[in-house]
Amino acid sequence: MAMSQQSIHGQWSSRWTFILAATGAAVGLGNIWKFPYLTGVHGGSAFVLVYIVCVAALGIPLMMAEILIGRRGRYTPVNTMKILAEESGAGPWWQSVGWLGTLAGMLILSYYSVIGGWTLAYVFKSATGAFRGVTGASAHTMFEAFVGNPWAILFWHTVFMIMTMMVVAKGVQGGIEKAVQFLMPALFVLLLLLLGYATTTGFFFDGLAFLFTPDVSRLSGTSMLTAMGQAFFSLSIGMGTIMIYGSYVPKGTSIAGTSIAIAGCDTAVALIAGMAIFPIVFANGMEPGAGPSLIFETLPVAFGHMTGGLIFGFLFFVLLLIAAWTSSISLIEPAVTLCIERYDMTRASASLWCGISTWALGIGTVVSFNVWADRTVFGMTFFDLLDFLTSNLMLPVGGILIASFAGWVMAPETSRSELDIRHPLGYTLWHLLIRYVAPFAVTLVLLHALGLL
């Protein structure tokens, strides 16, 4: 079967634009606090080394597989998997991989938009001096009062969703590409500005020591699985975003080279964020392991008392907003393109209906923090349940199936042609990793996430 040379939805104007877009999809709120914190508590540079090995052996091969599947099919993940399954002589059930990723993206965006709304609200709080003079107790009270108000959260959730869908509605080159060409360089500039400030706190080397002092004694089986899981989740594998973005990649673009560049940029953002944040945390005598509360409770106290805190607090939350925004754009793209292909909608109409549906689902997360806080299913709130289903089940299963399809179902000559790796051993190594290492590793991640390992 002859494959289309270009997606009906558009094409990236350059390899660099694709790298920016895919990096934007990968970089999210977790990069800003989770990866640096995991690095600190799991052995510093020893953990970073393990993580890089996991990225090389698991993350990059899986990303290459998802991009090559997307570029080969040139349609939304559902139709791409259907077309490539037919091409490979496999059963039609493989298109369920596309459905799984598309649904996961919408479910994740429904609650990610709520958290993005928190970030947007804190941009305005920081700009208006709301953090000036706050204590740990008052910062906690401020945050609790904010999330305890369903109407306030709903408002910011709505604004964030509108911001997301306005970009998506304008298409690949007119919307997503223009957005990431501005937002991703801005993100790196803001990171470097905050890093520059961190060097003046007097605790810069304490932050570096927390992040990079090698401590092999803190490496364990759990640490290895944590590094493996972070390598998988950090690159946005298994939710259809990389596959649909891959369908916009021009023929002749090196899939291996771009995958390595994306993984490198994603890791660099996480490490630079840690180098910028933890000196500020230590300078104010705060707990580096505070997790999400580090963002909305601990850091506002630091920004409220330090010189230039109004400016740098504002810059920090703008940085978070950009990270959340670029990720949210990619999460909804598979659903929007599916509506265009399946129901012959215009992009504007598809964006509107997908946005409204996802926004409505997000109301469940909004009330999970207040009026439904006591309502649980299997001991989990609505928000916790969605997070568990997507992160612990849908994404790992999607990753396993993508690896299996690329490694075992697609004909080697097809994947070899798409990847076009010049070194003869390069393709052989990728094929071995995607056939054996990646499915096994993601299965371990799945079992660990479910508490079975």
What is the share, in percent, of the chain residues with pLDDT greater than 70?
98
**What are the pLDDT digits (tens) for 227-256?**
999 999 989 999 999 999 999 999 889 999
Question: In this structure, what DSSP letter does residue 134 have?
Answer: -
Q: Is the pLDDT of residue 5 over 80?
A: no
Residues 164/325, Cβ–Cβ less than 8 Å: yes
Label residue 344 by pLDDT band (50, 70, 90).
very high
CA pair distance 222, 241, nearest whole angstrom: 28
Domains in the chain: boundaries: 15-449
Q: Is the pLDDT of residue 95 over 70?
A: yes
Look up the pTM and report it.
Answer: 0.94
Output 95 or 283, whichever has higher pLDDT: 95
Residue 248: name the closest of 12, 69, 64, 4 by CA.
12
**What are the pLDDT digits (tens) for 382-414?**
999 999 999 999 999 999 999 999 999 999 999
pLDDT at 172: 94
Class of the domain covering 15-449:
mainly alpha
Q: Could you write out the DSSP letters of every residue in 386-419?
A: HHIIIIIIIHHHHHHHHHHIIIIIS-HHHHHHHH
pLDDT at 3: 62
CA pair distance 325, 339, nearest whole angstrom: 22
pLDDT at 290: 66
Label residue 318 by pLDDT band (50, 70, 90).
very high
Element (H, E) at 191: helix 178-198
pLDDT at 32: 84
**What are the pLDDT digits (tens) for 44-87?**
888 889 999 999 999 999 999 999 999 999 999 999 999 999 99
**What are the pLDDT digits (tens) for 210-222?**
888 888 888 888 8
Output 183 or 29, whichever has higher pLDDT: 183
pLDDT at 287: 75
Distance of CA 20 to the CA centre of its chain: 13
Q: Could you write out the DSSP letters of every residue in 57-103?
A: IIIHHHHHHHHHHHHHH-S-HHHHHHHHHHHHT--GGGHHHHHHHHH
Q: Is the pLDDT of residue 4 over 60?
A: yes
Residues 299/177, Cβ–Cβ less than 8 Å: no
Residue 433: name the closest of 60, 178, 184 by CA.
60
